[in-house]
Each structure stands twice: as structure tokens, then as C-alpha cells.
């Protein structure tokens, strides 16, 4: 399929983007013409991902950034501005689910980590980035179907993802009219992150059957939705969440 070139001349930062959904988003935006700034915690992963993108003809800059490290977040923005002079798109994709404990059995340190990485780091990154965001720019958060129906193995993780839905509304208001803020809420996608759910063949089959479309999601599905929201095709959409979950129950 020939892709449109909606991001020609645009600069996009995608966090946690050396594999999985983040990498898929970087690849999609890059193939549509964006210069993409990718990042994750490990230099080796960053280098390998940049190489893969370059092979596809994409202009990619790779920077190590653990999203809860203030210095590394600042460096991510500074290096982007040094190289490209502006930011058009930020996709905030990093998240953890460090425990399958019930909420009331969770250690305080686990609750702190969930808040810190899944919510607070997204806000702090935008704080650093906001002076550089162009008129017509766009922010996309990656939430989850678990934001609507937090299952027990991911209950508190789900609540942090619910918080992103509120953050989307609040920041859409705060950053208007120059910057639009939207969210993608993925269903189940067989990535490293979801291994503990999707690796087991029988669990995977059960999950597939709970969707209306009889399959798990792909990183390309998530990338397509993110690209839409980040692009001018969505220029009258802000403060919204697009559920990309094969029909899994979300909300009316
Ligand atoms: P993934 O395939 O496991 O990829 C995770 C990426 O994040 C890697 O590039 C990893 O690289 C990087 N990373 C991990 N911790 C980081 C941190 N603290 N700071 C910066 N980078 C970090 O995960 P994924 O499934 O694509 O998940 C991406 C997003 O989708 C998350 O927000 C997740 O909640 C959401 N989501 C996923 C699913 C699903 O079924 N997969 C469903 C709903 C929502 P390094 O190891 O080098 O840091």
C-alpha cells in the first residue's frame, strides 16, 4: 500500500520507541515523511532501531531517554531542537506494569513507579517540550483498553491509563488552540510488554475470541491510528481518545 506523506517536513518525538508499538509509530510517521526522534533506556536498542529505520529510508535521530530521568528528558528535547529546530508531534508511549498484585496488595514503591512512568513523566516531558511546540502541533498519549475495564492482573496499571484520558481532556484545554492533544487506547498487541498475556496459546486464543474481529491488534494498527490523530486529517479533533481494540468493550 502506498502511504500518504502527511508528515513531510515535520519533526516527531516518540518515547519508548525502540520496539513494539512505539517503534511501529516511529516507522509509520517516518514513512509518511517525518524526521523521527526515537528513544528508550538502552543505547544498544536505540542504535539498532535507528539502523532499522534508516534502512527504510527514514530520517531518524536516536537518543537514550529513560522517561523518568529529568536530565535525559531535557537532553531529548535539547538534541531534537539542536538538530531540527522545532517539534511538531510528540507521542508519549512509555509505560510499565511492574506487578500483577491487586491494588490493595501493591507495595507503595510499585504505586509510585506506575504514577511516575505512566503519568508524571508524560507531563514533565511536555513541560520541557511545550516552548518548542509549533502552531498546529499535536500530542498523542498511548493509553490502553484497560483504562476502561481494568482487569485484575493490570488493575492499577489500568487506573494510570484512565488518568491519561483525563489528562488528554485537561491538556487539550490548556494547550489549545496551537496544540491538539489526543489519545490512542490499544487493545491487546503481542509485543514484549504483553508477553505475559499473549505468549500462552490458549490465553491468546481466548483473547482473540473476545474481540469482535477475532484477532489481536498489530503495531501497525496502533501506528495507523496514531498517525491519523497526529496528522492534519484530525485537525478538528482534540481532547479525544480513539479506542483501537477490535471491538473490545470500552464505552458508549
Ligand atoms: P514493548 O514492545 O515492550 O516496548 C517497550 C519499549 O519501551 C521498548 O522500546 C523499551 O526499550 C522502552 N522502554 C521501556 N521502559 C522505558 C522507560 N522507562 N523509558 C523509556 N523507554 C522505555 O511495549 P509495547 O507493548 O509496545 O507498549 C507500548 C505502550 O503501549 C505502553 O504505553 C503500553 O502501556 C501500551 N499498550 C500496550 C498494549 C499491548 O497489548 N502491547 C496494550 C495497550 C496499551 P528499552 O528496554 O531500551 O528501554
Please work out whether the CB of residue 76 comes within 6 Å of at least one atom of ligand 1.
no
pLDDT digits (tens, 9 = 90+) for 36-64: 999 999 999 999 999 999 999 999 999 99
For ligand 1, say whether the CB of 228 is within 6 Å of any of its atoms: no
Q: Does the Cβ of 122 fall within 6 Å of ligand 1?
A: no
117, pLDDT greater than 90: yes
Q: Is 135 exposed, middle or buried (0-12, 13-18, 19+ CB in 10 A)?
A: exposed
Distance CA 237, CA 225 (A): 13
pLDDT attached to residue 51: 98
Centroid of chain to Cα 64 = 16
Asked whether residue 252 carries a pLDDT value surpassing 80, the answer given is no
Residue 56's pLDDT is 97
Calculate mean pLDDT across residues 78-85: 98
Tell me how far the alpha carbon of residue 104 lies from the centroid of ligand 1, in angstroms: 25
In the predicted structure, residue 95 carries a pLDDT above the cut 90: yes
Q: How far is the CA of 113 from the centre of ligand 1 (A)?
A: 14
**What pLDDT, on a 0 to 100 scale, did the predictor assign at position 151?**
87
Instruction: Tell me if 92 CB under 6 Å of ligand 1.
Output: no
Per-residue pLDDT reduced to its tens digit, 218-244: 999 999 999 999 999 999 999 999 999
The residue among 81 and 251 whose pLDDT is bigger is: 81
Q: What is the C-alpha to C-alpha distance for residues 88 and 70, in angstroms, rounded to an integer?
A: 21
- 188 burial type by CB count under 10 A (0-12 exposed, 13-18 middle, 19+ buried): buried
> How many CB atoms within 10 Å of residue 192?
9
Peptide bond into 177 cis (omega under 30): yes
Write the DSSP assignment of 143-161 as a string of letters: --GGGTS--GGGHHHHHHH
In this structure, the residue with its CA closest to atom 23 of ligand 1 is 193
Task: Return d(Cα 207, Cα 67) in angstroms, integer.
Answer: 30
Q: Which of 26-30, 85-89, 149-153, 190-194 is predicted with the least confidence, judged by mean pLDDT?
A: 149-153
The 133-142 sheet, strands edge to edge? 60-64, 35-40, 11-14, 87-92, 133-142, 179-186, 241-244
CA dist list (Å): 42 to 22, 38, 116, 126, 232? 15, 12, 19, 22, 33
What is d(CA 27, CA 34) in angstroms, rounded to the nearest whole number?
9
Cell 492482573 locates to 153
All structural domains of the chain: 11-244 (3.40.50.720)
- 21 in contact with ligand 1, CB cutoff 6 A: yes
95 Cα–ligand 1 center, Å: 6
Average confidence (pLDDT) over 124-143: 97
Q: Does ligand 1 lie within 6 Å of residue 42's CB atom?
A: yes
Contact 148, 178 (CB under 8 A): no
Averaged pLDDT for residues 69-81: 98
How confident is the model at residue 67, as a pLDDT? 98
Q: How many CB atoms lie within 10 A of CB 114?
A: 23
Ligand 1: residue of 69, 125, 193 to mutate (most ligand atoms within 8 A of CB) is 193
Mutate to test the pocket of ligand 1, among 17, 22, 97 (most ligand atoms within 8 A of CB): 22
Question: Which pTM was predicted?
Answer: 0.98
In tens, the pLDDT along 154-211 reads: 999 999 999 999 999 999 999 999 999 999 999 999 999 998 888 899 999 999 999 9
Amino acid at each position: 500500500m502506498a502511504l500518504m506523506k502527511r508528515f513531510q517536513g515535520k519533526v516527531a518525538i516518540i518515547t519508548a520507541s525502540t520496539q513494539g508499538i512505539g517503534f511501529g509509530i516511529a516507522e509509520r510517521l517516518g514513512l509518511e515523511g517525518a524526521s523521527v526522534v526515537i528513544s528508550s533506556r538502552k543505547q544498544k536498542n536505540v542504535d539498532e532501531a535507528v539502523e532499522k529505520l534508516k534502512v527504510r529510508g527514514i530520517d531518524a535521530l536516536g537518543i537514550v531517554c529513560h522517561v523518568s530521568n529529568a536530565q535525559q528528558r531535557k537532553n531529548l528535547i535539547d538534541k531534537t531542537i539542536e538538530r531540527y529546530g522545532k517539534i511538531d508531534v510528540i507521542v508519549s508511549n512509555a509505560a510499565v506494569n511492574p506487578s500483577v498484585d491487586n491494588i490493595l496488595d501493591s507495595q507503595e514503591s510499585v504505586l509510585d513507579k506506575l504514577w511516575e512512568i505512566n503519568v508524571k513523566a508524560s507531563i514533565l516531558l511536555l513541560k520541557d517540550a511545550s516552548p518548542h511546540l509549533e502552531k498546529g502541533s499535536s500530542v498523542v498519549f498511548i493509553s490502553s483498553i484497560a483504562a476502561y475495564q481494568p482487569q485484575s492482573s493490570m488493575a492499577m496499571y489500568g487506573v494510570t491509563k484512565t488518568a491519561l484520558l483525563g489528562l488528554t481532556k485537561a491538556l487539550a484545554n490548556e494547550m489549545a488552540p496551537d496544540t491538539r492533544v489526543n489519545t490512542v487506547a490499544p487493545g491487546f498487541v503481542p509485543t514484549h510488554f504483553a508477553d505475559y498475556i499473549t505468549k500462552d496459546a490458549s490465553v491468546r486464543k481466548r483473547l482473540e475470541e473476545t474481540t469482535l474481529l477475532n484477532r489481536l491488534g498489530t503495531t501497525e494498527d496502533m501506528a495507523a491510528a496514531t498517525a491519523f490523530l497526529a496528522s492534519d486529517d484530525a485537525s478538528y479533533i482534540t481532547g479525544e481518545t480513539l479506542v483501537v481494540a477490535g471491538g473490545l468493550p470500552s464505552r458508549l
